Amino acid sequence: MNDRRTKENPPGGKLLVIVNDLTMGGAERQALLLARAAHAGGRSVGVVGLSKPGPLADVLKDDGIPCVRCELEFPLSVPRMPCHAWRLARFLRRLHPRTILGYTSVPCFYGAWVWRRTGARRFVWNQRSAGLYRPPPALERLGAKRTPAFIANSQSAEAFLRGELQVAPGSIHRIPNGVVVPDSVPDRALSRAKAGIDGEPFVACMVGNLRQPKDPLTLLRAWQRVRSVLAERNRAAVLVFVGRIVPGFCNVDAMAAALGIGDSVRCIGFQQDVSDLLAVADLAVFSSRSEGMPNAVLESMASGLAVAATDLPGIRECLPERQYSFLAAPGDSGPLADAILRLAGDGELRAELGRLNREYVRTTFPVQAMVDQTLAVVDEI
């Protein structure tokens, strides 16, 4: 009887992971890795989405992990918050949680306010950014005071918790992202053929859903110069964006056309598995104005790519020190173009940095360490 009960009710019991978006951004990929590992380890785990349907739900279904939605329309509208909180508390209570783990701002905010009404014994606030898409700060701080434990995936996320939300340092557990490093990199020529890239152009790739705080315009302005310089060297250039473009945020095709570089920019859209697309690239690029620990940069490194990016604390935390000289101030397209051109002109250096990045991710950001540390926090009841 004891063995059966342990198997049915392992440490942590029913773990509910709450995400806002089911469209598979970086935070959602981390939640998926955790849910898969917890499920494989015999835990009872489920995922709750607070937004519209997306591909994450399909992946979880294939893995045999329950995924349900309690959609909160306009979740940051203050007049709607009491109704949203009451509705979410009732919804979660029916799922009989033992521990609730929130990912990103909205799930963390609402989780902090409702967890005691759900029958859960513990709530963990999982901070994934340096403070974006926030509820009113005063209400957010009050929610933080109701929270027993916090996870921060980066130094900047921890600084936000300590500074903006006034969280005691002893309540914060720093747990970096975990990244799957593929056993081998897909064949470059085959991947380029699949992507419809002919010849031997220089290809740079930015992975990430294009929404706040991403800054594609700075990258496009940098690319305008990169394309011009490489054309003088008789080399074609292609910039590939991989990820969902959030309606109303930006129109990359229109911005590229306005800069006269539309023929060298491609928007691939959302891809569940980006490894094949990263295999077409000579270089990973990343332009943003605020980040916690961008999963897209780590995935690019795991695919053996050198990186040219904006210089943010969360991005530096991803990279080995040798990569720091290829970082440019946010919003400054000139130095970003310089970094891309330096790497475009030196294939041996790109390959060397790519190997370094791949090994750095393997040793510094292992998935099992992220899973073990997170579940240890979940089990501290």
CATH number for the domain spanning 212: value is: 3.40.50.2000
Q: For the chain, what is the domain count? A: 2
**Does residue 315 fall inside a structural domain?**
yes
Question: Containing domain of residue 373, as a range?
Answer: 2-178+366-378
Indicate whether 115 and 249 sit together in one domain.
no
Both 326 and 371 in one domain: the answer is no
Q: What is the pLDDT of residues 286-308, one digit of tens each?
A: 999 988 899 999 999 999 999 99
* C-alpha closest to that of 271 among 207, 187, 361, 200: 207
Domain shared by 203 and 343, yes or no: yes
Same domain assignment for residues 276 and 241: yes
Average pLDDT of the segment spanning 224-250: 88
- My answer on whether 192 and 57 are in the same domain is no
| Same domain as 281, residue 240 | yes
pTM: 0.88
Q: Are residues 122 and 14 in the same domain?
A: yes
Q: Residue 218 pLDDT more than 60?
A: yes
Q: Starting from the edge strand earliest in sequence, which strands make up the sheet with 265-269, in order? A: 265-269, 237-242, 202-207, 283-286, 307-310, 327-328
The answer to the question of residue 183 being in a domain is: no
Mean pLDDT of 155-161: 94
275 and 335 housed in the same domain: yes
Quick one: 360 and 374 in the same domain? no
> Are 334 and 373 part of one and the same domain?
no
What is the spatial order of strands in the sheet that 45-49 belongs to?
67-69, 45-49, 15-19, 99-103, 122-127, 149-152, 172-174
Is 95 a member of any domain?
Answer: yes
User: Please, which pLDDT band fits residue 381 given cuts at 50, 70 and 90?
Assistant: low
CA distance 121 to 110: 16
Which stretches of the chain are DSSP H helices?
A: 2-8, 26-40, 55-62, 81-93, 105-114, 137-145, 155-163, 188-194, 216-232, 252-258, 275-278, 295-302, 313-316, 333-344, 347-364, 367-378
95 and 73, same structural domain? yes
